[in-house]
């Protein structure tokens, strides 16, 4: 009996190490980080914010270059049309069309909600790679709810400027397209989940066209991003992401 159990453990251990050797978690995490990124891209998306009191949808267009430059402009609703957010490196500016002024978002505002959503200004700015701030390992590989998935558990490095205690990244086993990212706080209590759905071919790339953020401590609330259009590998000059451009 003892022997039997020992063999079983050995088999399990060797099988898990076999998975690890097959799959490179660093590669998977980078591909998740880069899912919507390319050298330069353009896209149109709907941002739907649901709170217990109200629900609203914004239509936005966005340009990006690399991981440091973003320009986001509101298309709809009319009231907020042309409200533009520029992010270059660690800095975020808002252009208010009504008063025709550019306002730099100070660090103290970084934690504030971006356009009333469950994303913060900081979420927009955040560009660090998972692999840099976390130690990680594959903690599950196989079928779950009928899907063939890989689960990578990430634990923040000792001094990494990360609020989470643990992040679980779940991707499809076949193409590493993300399925769900689960964030836990320092006490490993569930904090929020980010669901990726509606995988479609868009801009010559298979991507989840909908992303839904569900905070745990605000039941019934969520923010969803739905890509309407996306183009990858465009050529956009650096000048495009400038304050001058912002005001135009």
Partner 1 sequence: MKSKLLMIIKIGWLSIWRNKRRTLISLFSIVIGTGIPTFFVCIAWGFYAGLIDDVARLMSGHVTYEHIDYRNSPSNDLWVDDIQKINKTLNSNAEVLFTKQIVNLQGVAHTAKSSVGISLMGIEPSKEITISFLPETIVEGEYLSEGDGRWVIVGKKLAENLNVNVGKKFVFTTNDVKGELVEELFRVKGIFKTGSKEIDGHFIQSDIELARMVAGLSSDDVSQLGIIVKNPDTHERFLREMQKTLAKKNGVFLSWQQIMPDVATTIRMDRTAITSIMVLLVVIVLFTMFSTILMSTLERKREFASLLAIGTQQIELKLQIFIETIIFGLIACPIGSLLGVGVAKWMEGYDLMDVVGGKTEDMTVGGFGMDTIITPLFSAPLILQISIFFFLAVQLLSVLPVYLISRISITDELRSI
Of positions 63, 183, 196, 241, contacts partner 1 by CB under 8 A: 183
Of positions 26, 34, 82, 89, contacts partner 1 by CB under 8 A: 89
Task: Decide if residue 97 touches partner 1 (CB under 8 A).
Answer: no
Q: Nearer to partner 1 by C-beta: 13 or 190?
A: 190
User: How many Å apart are CA 182 and CA 74, to the nearest integer?
Assistant: 29
Task: Decide if residue 120 touches partner 1 (CB under 8 A).
Answer: yes
Task: Decide if residue 103 touches partner 1 (CB under 8 A).
Answer: no
Task: Decide if residue 8 touches partner 1 (CB under 8 A).
Answer: no
What is the number of alpha carbons within 13 Å of residue 138 lying toward its C-beta?
A: 24
Q: Residue count at the site for partner 1 (CB under 8 A)?
A: 28
* DSSP category for residue 78: G
Q: Nearer to partner 1 by C-beta: 114 or 232?
A: 114
Task: Decide if residue 219 touches partner 1 (CB under 8 A).
Answer: no
Of positions 159, 175, 204, 239, contacts partner 1 by CB under 8 A: 159
Find the part of the chain contacting partner 1 (CB under 8 A) among 6-14, 31-39, 105-113, 139-147: 105-113
C-beta of 108: minimal distance to partner 1 in Å? Answer: 5
Q: Nearer to partner 1 by C-beta: 55 or 107?
A: 107
Q: Nearer to partner 1 by C-beta: 125 or 207?
A: 125
Of positions 60, 162, 224, 230, contacts partner 1 by CB under 8 A: 162
Task: Decide if residue 217 touches partner 1 (CB under 8 A).
Answer: yes
What does the chain look like in DSSP terms, one character per residue? -HHHHHHHHHHHHHHHHHHHHH--HHHHHHHHHTTT--SEEEEEEEEEEE-SS-EEEEEEEEEEETTTEEEEEEEESGGGTT-EEEEETTEEEEEETTTTEEEEPPGGGTTSBSTTSSSBHHHHH----HHHHEEEEEEEEEEETTEEEEEEEEEE-TT-----SEEEEEEETTT--EEEEEEE-TT--EEEEEEEEEEEEETTEEEEEEEEEEESSSTT-EEEEEEEEEE-S----GGGGSHHHHH-
Q: State the residues that interact with partner 1 by CB under 8 A.
A: 89-91, 106-112, 120, 122, 125, 159-165, 183-186, 189, 191-192, 217
């Amino acid at each position: 009996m003892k022997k039997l159990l020992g063999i079983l453990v050995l088999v399990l251990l060797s099988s898990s190490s076999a998975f690890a050797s097959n799959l490179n978690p660093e590669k998977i995490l980078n591909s998740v980080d880069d899912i919507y990124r390319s050298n330069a891209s353009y896209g149109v998306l709907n941002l739907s914010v649901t709170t217990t009191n109200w629900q609203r949808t914004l239509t936005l267009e966005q340009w990006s270059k690399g991981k440091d430059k973003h320009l986001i402009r509101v298309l709809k609703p009319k009231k907020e049309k042309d409200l533009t957010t520029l992010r270059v490196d660690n800095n975020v500016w808002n252009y208010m069309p009504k008063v025709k002024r550019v306002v730099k978002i100070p660090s103290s505002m970084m934690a504030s909600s971006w356009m009333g959503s469950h994303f913060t200004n900081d979420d927009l700015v955040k560009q660090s790679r998972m692999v840099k701030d976390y130690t990680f390992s594959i903690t599950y590989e196989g079928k779950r709810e009928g899907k063939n998935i890989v689960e990578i558990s990430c634990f923040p490095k000792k001094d990494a400027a990360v609020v989470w205690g643990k992040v679980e990244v779940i991707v499809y086993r076949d193409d590493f397209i993300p399925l769900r990212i689960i964030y836990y706080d320092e006490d490993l209590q569930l904090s929020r989940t980010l669901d990726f759905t509606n995988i479609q071919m868009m801009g010559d790339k298979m991507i989840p066209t909908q992303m839904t953020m569900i905070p745990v401590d605000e039941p019934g609330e969520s923010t969803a991003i739905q890509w309407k259009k996306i183009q990858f590998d465009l050529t956009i000059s650096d000048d495009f992401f400038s304050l001058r451009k912002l005001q135009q």
